[in-house]
Structure formats: C-alpha cells, structure tokens
Structure 1
Amino acid sequence: MKTLLLIRHAKSSWNDPDVDDFDRPLNKRGKQNAPEMASRLMLRGVVPELIIASPAKRTSSTAKIMAKEWDYPKEAILFEEELYLCYASTFLKVITKIDDDFSAVAIFAHNPGITDFANYLTQEIRIDNVPTTGIFAVQAFTDSWKDFDRARKTFLFFDYPKQEIV
C-alpha cells in the first residue's frame, strides 16, 4: 500500500505587488497554519517518509515548516521544478519516479493543479478547491509507485485549517 498526501502551500502574502509570483512569501496566517496542519497529520498517525515540493518560495517554506514538525530534515526535501503551477498530469510523472521503499509521500504544490489531481484520484469524493494548507489523502493498493495510476485507490481524508477536526 502507498499513501499519498497532496498538500497545497500555506497562505501567501500579496503585500508587495512587485514580487514575482514564484518568490511570494508566506503571510502570518500561513506561518501559523503550516505547523497546525502538520500536527493534525501526526494526530491521524500519518507522517510522510518522503517530501517532494515545488521550489516556489511559498511552497518550499510550507514544506520546510511542516517538515520541522515531523522531525524530517529539510535538506532531504526533494524540490521538483515541474510542480510549480503544473497540470494534474504532471503529478503522475513525479509519482512514478518515487522509490518504492517509501510508503507515505507528501507532495506540496499549487492550485489549480492540486485540486484537479485530487479529483482525478478517486470517484469517492469531489472537491471544488483545495484551500491553502489543505491536505487531500488517498491510499493506493499497490507496492510500486510506478503502478500508482492504475492501482485501486481509496479516499482517506481531506483536511484544511478552517475545517473542524473530526
């Protein structure tokens, strides 16, 4: 079995309109939500063994903050250029390259691709939007990430900062 966590970056700052989109930092709320959501994952008993992230500042910052909560070394985060504002199909390209030794993987990325890919993964649930710092989790019935796309999947949970913990 393989567990995939799709995590959208935390809330970013729009204070400086001259900052390039790729370089936008997190705002105060984003810096608060990231560790909170990392803690919620730990309460669910789900902690990734591998973190892959878009290198955009807001996404890499979110990944690093959450990694710290999980005692995951920030130097071990894999940054994939192609995850920056990607289409849903790009996620599959990234996933098929994951080493099969990892059972639980978190991918940090952006909308609209992350919402589109979440909806592609399962027929059990449809969502309109993965909000900032939202986490969409599925489990695939396979031993190989190369077979992830064809594997039967089940929805695990969808959580985000403004949702009540259940």
Structure 2
Amino acid sequence: MSQVYLLRHAKAVWPSPGQKDFDRTLDTAGIEAARILGQELRRSGLKPEIVVCSTAIRARQTLEYLELEPPFVLDQSEKLFSGGPDAYLMAIRMAGLEHETANSVMLVGHNPMMEELAIALAGRGQPPSHPDFESGFPTAGLAVIRFDAPLAEVRPGTGELQAFFTPSAHH
C-alpha cells in the first residue's frame, strides 16, 4: 500500500510589475493556511516519507510553513513548476524507484496540474469524478490518495481518495 499527497501551494501575492511568476511569495492568508494545514496533518498522524517540491518560491514557502516533522527526504523539481500532469505522475514514480522502501510521497506544486492529477488518480471512488474536487482544488488544498500498488507503479484510475484538506474547511 502506498500514499500520494498532492499539495497545491498556499495563496500567493499577485506579481508586482516586472516580477516573475516563479518569484511570487505567499501572502499572510497563505502563510496562515499552510500553518493550519501542518497542524491538521500532525493531528491526523499523516506524514510523507518523501517530499518533491516545485522550485517556485511560493511552493517552497508552503512546505516551510507546514513544518513537517523530520525525517523526510526532500527533492526539488523544476518540472513541478514547468511540466504538466505527466511530469507530476513521473515524479511520483521516480520517488518510488529511487527510494524503494518509501510508501508515501508528497508533491508540492501548482494548478491546474494538481487538480487534473488528483482527478485522474482517484478513480476508484464512485463516481470517478470526485465530489470533493467539483469546486476546484483550492490553494493550500491537499489530497491524500491511497494505492494498493507501490509508488513506482502508481497509475491513473487506481487510487482512492483518503482525505481532502482545504483551508476553508478549517475555519
């Protein structure tokens, strides 16, 4: 059994003139949402063994404010900033191949890739389009999807949504 955590970065500021999208930082609401999500994970006893984080500043800050308890392996991936859902799926499988004993990986990335991948992976829930994602995949949203297969063999349609945390649900 394995678990995939799909975390969309928390709310970021709009880019100021001349600022690159890549360099956007979290706003105060985003920082707060990431902190609350971190507390929620600790309360639920959920912790990934591997974290693959987009190199974009807002994704790295989201991870920072989550304050995940060590130990976990951290990989940075530019592909989670520039790539599509396929790059995200590949990141999950690669994590499984590189760390054979690990059964859980968290991707910290961006929409629309997060939402598309979550919908594609969590196919075992009935109906396949999961009701939780109908209103979208909000910033600081986290889907936890469970698979019978190891991480290296994760395929679309074979996962089951275990939990979906959204900042709005915390208030």
Q: Which amino acid aligns with 2:56?
A: A
TM-score, structure 2 as length reference? 0.86
- Runs of 4+ in structure 1 over 4 Å off: none
Deviation at 1:33, TM superposition (A): 0.9
Deviation at 1:72, TM superposition (A): 2.8
Q: Could you tell me which residue of structure 2 aligns to residue 141 of structure 1?
A: 148
1:104 matched to 2:110? The reply is no
SS of the residue corresponding to residue 163 of structure 2 reads strand
Q: Could you tell me which residue of structure 2 aligns to residue 153 of structure 1?
A: 159
In structure 2, stretches of 5+ residues that fail to align are: none
Deviation at 1:85, TM superposition (A): 4.2
Matches of 1:100 and 1:114, distance apart in 2: 24
Q: Deviations over 1:112-136 (max 9, x none)?
A: 0100000001232151421010001
Identity across the alignment (%): 25
Q: Deviations over 1:26-68 (max 9, x none)?
A: 11111111111011112221111111110000001111221xx
RMSD across aligned positions (CA) = 2.0
Range moving further from structure 2, 53-62 or 11-20: 11-20
Deviation at 1:152, TM superposition (A): 3.4
> Equivalent residues in 2 for 1:82-93 (5 A)?
82-93=79-90
Q: Which amino acid aligns with 1:157?
A: A
Q: Which amino acid aligns with 2:109?
A: A
TM-score, structure 1 as length reference? 0.88
Q: Return the structure number with greater helix share.
A: 2
Q: Could you tell me which residue of structure 2 aligns to residue 62 of structure 1?
A: 62
In structure 1, stretches of 5+ residues that fail to align are: none
Matches of 1:15 and 1:54, distance apart in 2: 18
SS of the residue corresponding to residue 163 of structure 1 reads helix
Q: How many aligned positions are there?
A: 161
* Residues 150 and 33 of structure 1, relative CA distance in 2, 3 Å threshold: closer
> Equivalent residues in 2 for 1:1-166 (5 A)?
1-14=1-14, 16-66=16-66, 69-72=67-70, 76-98=73-95, 99-123=99-123, 124=125, 125-126=130-131, 127-128=133-134, 129-142=136-149, 144-149=150-155, 152-164=158-170
SS of the residue corresponding to residue 59 of structure 1 reads helix
Q: Deviations over 1:131-161 (max 9, x none)?
A: 010001101102x322111783211011111
